């Protein structure tokens, strides 16, 4: 599988593009729900442009014995948030829309919790057939569309200098 490396600056610029799209949409959102851990950094940068609070939910695809699971486990969810978020327009934020399975799961579970004014914002939208599905009328925003390559995010780098050197070799058409 082909790989691509993005610098933090690439990410920041893509979030600015994403924010512009969201700010040009008709109805503003009241708060973000960042999906942890991938959504934490995109959501925090996005807050600089949207000026709305960030709540978090976290999922894991590993069980208590660190074995991979097919369906996500809720690690931290919306307990205690019902009254604060009631009737609010909530923007669910993640780093990448890959198979769309996680996004489908989150939206469905948030709807079960009684949150119905939802939208989705992702930094990277992979151009590929999706296994998960979102409600047809759900507002959906992505910073940039990308090929179905393995994305190396800067926050996963053990050595940020080596990571940036890899990122510098990428062809300009692959960059935001």
| 164 lies in the site for its own copies, by CB under 8 A | yes
Nearer to its own copies, 38 or 119 (CB): 38
Residue 84 CB-half CA count within 13 A: 12
**Nearest approach, Cβ of residue 48 and its own copies (Å):** 5
**Nearest approach, Cβ of residue 164 and its own copies (Å):** 7
CB 146 within 8 A of CB 17: no
Quickly list H helices, the chain: 8-24, 40-50, 82-85, 101-112, 160-168
**Nearest approach, Cβ of residue 34 and its own copies (Å):** 7
| List 70, 98, 113, 159, catalytic entry | 98
CB 103 within 8 A of CB 92: yes
> Which residues of the shown chain bind its own copies in the complex (CB under 8 A)?
7-9, 12-13, 16, 34, 36-37, 40-41, 43-45, 47-49, 53-56, 58, 60, 75-77, 79-81, 84, 154-158, 160-161, 164
């Amino acid at each position: 599988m082909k790989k691509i490396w993005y610098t933090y600056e690439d990410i920041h610029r893509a979030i600015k593009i994403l924010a512009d799209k969201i700010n040009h949409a008709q109805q503003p959102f009241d708060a973000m729900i960042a999906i942890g851990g991938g959504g934490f950094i995109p959501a925090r940068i996005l807050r600089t442009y949207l000026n709305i609070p960030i709540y978090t939910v976290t999922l894991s695809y590993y069980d208590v014995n660190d074995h991979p699971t097919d369906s996500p486990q809720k690690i931290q969810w919306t307990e205690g948030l019902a009254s604060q978020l009631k009737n609010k327009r909530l923007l669910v934020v993640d780093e990448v829309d890959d198979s769309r399975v996680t996004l489908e799961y989150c939206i469905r579970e948030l709807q079960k919790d009684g949150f119905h004014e939802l939208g989705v914002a992702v930094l990277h939208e992979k151009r590929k057939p999706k296994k998960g599905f979102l409600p047809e009328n759900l507002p959906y925003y992505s910073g940039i569309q990308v090929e179905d390559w393995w994305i190396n995010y800067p926050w996963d780098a053990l050595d940020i200098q080596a990571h940036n050197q890899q990122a510098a070799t990428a062809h300009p058409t692959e960059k935001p």
